[in-house]
Chains A and B, each alone.
Chain A
Amino acid sequence: DTGVSQDPRHKITKRGQNVTFRCDPISEHNRLYWYRQTLGQGPEFLTYFQNEAQLEKSRLLSDRFSAERPKGSFSTLEIQRTEQGDSAMYLCASNPGTAGYGYTFGSGTRLTVV
């Protein structure tokens, strides 16, 4: 396992379309996080899973956003009816759940809504 993998790396979509991103965390990591990063800013927390349970969601996660981790392994993040303001880098991170352990981030999915 070489790290956290995200797919696709880039996605261009028309406004109003739905998009889905996938994240494969490090296999032994039971915690998985989604973050969003806009240009020139630090990543902002969206949501967090421990195994298959979604334990925390940010106020940034509107009703158009949904995330799943059905088997406690990979996760998907879906955005429905995309808006131009959704254009950002979507980052996934994982960690093994040990207190205070650093997070390993993937390379992200760059979403552009036109």
Chain B
Amino acid sequence: GESVGLHLPTLSVQEGDNSIINCAYSNSASDYFIWYKQESGKGPQFIIDIRSNMDKRQGQRVTVLLNKTVKHLSLQIAATQPGDSAVYFCAENRLPGAGSYQLTFGKGTKLSVIP
């Protein structure tokens, strides 16, 4: 079935560098996307979201880019810090009115920050 997936399972970056985590999705009906951060033993923590009528959204040190043409989503973390070490998941949802309310998650990318 249609799914959300990630290009790289692990990513190691030097502290202070920028990180880019990628995600490909195949569900053409996807119109809302969320990035989550999950630390060991904890539940997923909301980072940033984006709707399909946007191609870029910025938060504090994070930027999400959406390319609907190639069905690609990325999360950019500026000046990566040791506290950013975690597993990052992208998730997709169809906004209410389009059927399902569930989130579909990818497998995750583990980000390791080297001090």
Contacts and interface: CB of A to CB of B under 8 A. Distances in A.
Q: Say whether A associates with B.
A: yes
B64 to A, nearest CB: 12
Interface in B35-54: 36, 41-46, 49, 51
A105 B49 CA distance: 15
Interface residues of B, number: 26
B95 A56 contact: no
A80 B93 CA distance: 30
Contacts of B100: 56
A105 B41 CA distance: 13
A36 B46 CA distance: 17
Nearest to B33: A100
Contacts of A99: 95-97
B91 interface: yes
A42 B34 contact: no
A35 B44 CA distance: 11
A112 interface: no
Classify chain A: how many residues form its interface, as a range: 20 to 34
Given A48-B101, A56-B100, A58-B102, A41 B107 contact: yes
B49 A42 contact: no
Nearest to B90: A42
Contacts of B93: 100
B106 A42 contact: yes
Contacts of B51: 100
B89 interface: yes
Contacts of A56: 100-102
B78 to A, nearest CB: 21
A45 B102 contact: yes
Sorted nearest first, the 6 A-B pairs with minimum C-beta distance are: A42-B105, A105-B43, A45-B102, A102-B46, A105-B44, A107-B43
20 contacts: A35-B103, A42-B89, A42-B106, A42-B107, A43-B105, A45-B103, A45-B104, A55-B101, A56-B100, A56-B101, A56-B102, A91-B44, A93-B43, A99-B95, A100-B32, A100-B49, A105-B43, A105-B45, A107-B43, A108-B42
